Chain A
Amino acid sequence: MEGKAPIMRRSALAAIAAIGSASLLVAGCSKADDNKDNNGSSAGANAATKGVVNASDKKGGTVTYELSDVPDSFDPGNTYYAYMYNLSRLYARPLMTFQPGAGEKGNTLVPDLAASKGVPSDGGKTWTYKLRSGLKYEDGSPITSKDVKYAVERSNFARDVLSLGPNYFQQFMAKGDKYKGPYKDKSAKGLSSIETPDDGTIVFHLNQAFQEFDYLVAAPQTAPVPQSKDKGVDYVKHIVSSGSYKFQSYEDGKQAVLVRNENWDAKTDPLRKQLPDKIVVKLKVNPETIDQDVLAGDAIDLAGAGVQASTQAKVLTDTAKKAGTDNTYGGRLVYMAINTKVKPFDKVECRKAVQYAIDKVSVQTAEGGPIRGDVASTVLPPDIPGYEKSDVYASSGSKGDAAKAKEQLKACGKSSISTNISARSDRPQEIDAATAIINSLKKVGINASLKQFPSGKYFTDYAGVPKFTEKQNVGLIMMQWGADWPSGYGFLQQILNGKAISQSGNTNLSQYDNKDVNSLLGKAIGTQDDTERNSLYTQIDKKTMDDAVLVPLTYFKVLLARPQNYTNLVSTAAFSGQYDYLNIGVASK
């Protein structure tokens, strides 16, 4: 998933985009990933990326989340932001979820509403889940498998009404293309490929083998919704809780207040602790104010996008404050796609010339320095399974190799190239990175002109429209991408699969349609063994790099300030490096 737009892990990058050049100076000389600044009074820098900070079962108090933006929706069936996937688990329990754990440990899937992981059959085309017994909604009524089925139907098959979430179930359920959704299809049967033989069992029949289906059901779209209470888009105003908290109040675009759900039973839930009395989510808060509140220890930045540039400078130059930060990967790759349909980049040698020419350190500096990302050389980031360290186009200090670039250019039959590079006009760091790339390319005779487009229409009208890029000679396209779920398939499918190329809203910006890669992706998702599957993702990564269709620039990192007054803080890879919101409580002051 990409950018600020609606995608899980496509966390609120608008905030990041606002970070200015001040960060460069600070980041350039900072080194926040050591752990030597522990002043004794705090857990130390990056402590929450290695374990749980302030572990406690203390109950009471109010936990406050602040967001500079507004989420797409609090409705679990109508959201695509990673932070809402994280937060919604407090009031909406999906079939599966992620174990609260530090870093990549947080990628571990565990049953939530389901009693155990899905049981595959028919070679991975059928998945069966048994619900835990004794599950209840906030009103005391029982939760049944029919409610889970209905939740999937409303969230994936009624996109004219609930349009903001992903539609993987629509894509992968058998006969999913025929079903009109519960608002139009009034039959009692609903989608025939989801069966509920009894109130405690749900069976999904897919149109292809899909061995990562447990990841799909970890989406909030599988959190139960009672059909009788569903008001379509207005359901967000009266969400019926299945989690440990329920809504006390909801003001659209302003604030939501959650209080304990008395009908939640800890015996049915090994994950949640229900610690604070109240959870307040404040929206549209000034980003500077959020940082101040976080540093004062009284709030959590809900988006988890990291502190502002001015705050970054402050915390990194103060040893005590720096000890209260977590600098971690956000499961994202900053890269530049090379459009294989725009000449001369249809020739691999010309693409390789670009690969060798780019000074990645200058791009890293433009992006905000090492604190905002490590220099990248693979498609998969280090916190996604399948990542294997390699650098096909290695150069001294990652500063580019002009000689090799010129060699490749010659092999391509060119002495110079004129092309355009696109970037989002409202993302200053992306513009700066593109400018750094232009300067690198110029040294080897590749002249790229910057074309800026607004991020809101980047995919629907410009970079994501193949005809537009071909007509406008846009050979190079700036991009940032994170997985919908932490696996090679979740990361690679939308950006490398030839079948994902669409005429508008396209995210396979290279227009890469390689039979081997398409086949490997299909094979991987049908492979049951995790190790074997991950090795296939590694192969895809290598094949893509050999074909030079995209230039990995940086593995995106966030710098989180850790609120000292809160407990159970752990930065998880499952949610783009955010703190896991399931069990955050309030410490004694």
Chain B
Amino acid sequence: MISYILRRTFAAVILLLVVSAVTFAIFFLLPRLAGQTADQLAQQYIGKSPSKADIVAVKHNLGLDQPVYVQYWHFIKGIVAGATYDLGPTTVHCDAPCFGYSFKNHQAVWPELTSRLPITLSLAVGAAVLWLVSGVVAGVISALKPRSFLDRTFMGIALTGVSLPMFFTGNLAILLFTYQWPIFGKTYVPLTENPAQWANTLIPAWCSLALLYSAIYARLTRSGMLETMSEDFIRTARAKGLRERTVVTRHGLRAALTPIITVFGMDIGLLLGGAVITESVFSLPGIGQYAVQGITDNDLPKILGVTLLAAAFVVFANLLVDVLYAAADPRVRLS
């Protein structure tokens, strides 16, 4: 088992390196191949009417005057060993993992990401609990009572939920529960500062996100359960005289959960990399909002930092899912 985990971890690191190289090439190499000069790139980060000396200085300061492979090497080196930057009167050392400095406002990327991570984490975990519980429960009930009123109601809600975009449900939730009936707070408060207010401000975002995601889980659970509950081992379990609750939860649901774990791992990984729309709609200063800002400003280090962090979350979530599989099914380890 340990060797399996080590193998997968090594593969995950290699994958992240590949992702970093590809991402770096997309943002730094492709524009050059398309004819953009380093001067033009540097000029985007200076105010109006820059002199040639200004452009040369900014190009040098941002490292854009070096070959792309050297820039990539400095980037990777910064992640592993940190980097030193010129901030004006002094130079500062950016500790590892240093994801570079914003080209736009010259602020370090990594501290920004870590300061925003708790917000994205709060959003993702809270919503995940909601959508997992509601989605699975709805799916199980629907599967146990197919074509019943409850089944049709849950599946109807699921279909509606998955059809409505976040910028609609989110804005509607804000309008109704923050302005029309001011039940929930408007400004995010950290968990460590005031847990009750933290939850109060996040509930509309959790519910909106859960509405979107739980639909998928409800449908997945329903189809999985319908299939599982018609299997021979369920009939055997019932024949043995087990209680129906035990048959459903220990035998039926457990077997149906496998694809749900896979999807859940991917979803949570993606969300941790930045719930771009949700964070924008609910004005939550998380990773997603940071990504939007990076794109708006064409601020390459910001975009690169978020991309790598998101990739790391997805890879890590997949690794976790694989390990869970391996723990549950020894055949996975062997393959």
A interface with B by C-beta (< 8 Å): 1, 6-7, 14, 69-70, 72-73, 80, 154, 158-167, 170-171, 177, 182-183, 230-236, 251-255, 282-286, 288-289, 292-293, 296, 456-457, 460-461, 494, 500, 502, 504-505, 507
Contact = CB atoms under 8 A, between A and B. Distances in A.
B126 to A, nearest CB: 19
Given A233-B88, A253-B290, A254-B285, A160 B106 contact: no
Interface of B: 36, 39-40, 43-51, 54, 57-58, 60-61, 86-90, 92, 104-107, 112, 115, 171, 174-175, 178-179, 186-187, 280-283, 285, 289-290, 293, 296-298
Nearest to B284: A284
B50 A285 contact: no
B179 A505 contact: no
A235 B90 CA distance: 11
Contacts of B46: 159, 163-164
Nearest to B170: A286
Contacts of A507: 48
Contacts of A69: 293, 296
B48 A158 contact: no
A154 to B, nearest CB: 8
A469 to B, nearest CB: 15
A72 to B, nearest CB: 7
A157 to B, nearest CB: 10
Contacts of A182: 89
Contacts of B36: 461
11 contacts: A69-B296, A163-B45, A164-B105, A167-B50, A230-B88, A232-B88, A251-B115, A253-B290, A289-B186, A456-B44, A505-B50
A281 to B, nearest CB: 13
A160 B87 CA distance: 9
Given A160-B86, A505-B49, 13 more contacts: A69-B296, A159-B54, A167-B50, A167-B51, A177-B51, A234-B87, A236-B105, A292-B178, A456-B297, A460-B40, A460-B43, A504-B40, A504-B43
Contacts of A254: 285
Contacts of A162: 88
A296 B298 CA distance: 34
A500 B48 CA distance: 11
B40 A461 contact: yes
A172 to B, nearest CB: 12
Contacts of B45: 163
Nearest to B175: A292
- 4 nearest CB pairs, A to B: A232-B88, A160-B57, A233-B106, A232-B87
B241 to A, nearest CB: 57
Contacts of B89: 182-183, 230-232
B174 A288 contact: yes
B61 to A, nearest CB: 4
Nearest to A80: B47
A447 B175 CA distance: 46
B47 A284 contact: no
A388 B170 CA distance: 48
Nearest to A180: B53
A263 B48 CA distance: 35
Contacts of B296: 14, 69, 456
A285 B171 CA distance: 12
Contacts of A167: 47-51, 54
B47 A253 contact: no
A504 to B, nearest CB: 6
A231 B54 contact: no
Contact of B88 (A73, A161, A293): A161
B283 A457 contact: no
A161 B171 contact: no
B61 A160 contact: yes
A70 to B, nearest CB: 6
A561 B106 CA distance: 34
A413 B106 CA distance: 54
Nearest to A234: B87
A491 to B, nearest CB: 14
B44 A252 contact: no
A183 B293 contact: no
A241 to B, nearest CB: 20
Given A232-B88, A284-B283, A286-B280, A72 B48 contact: no
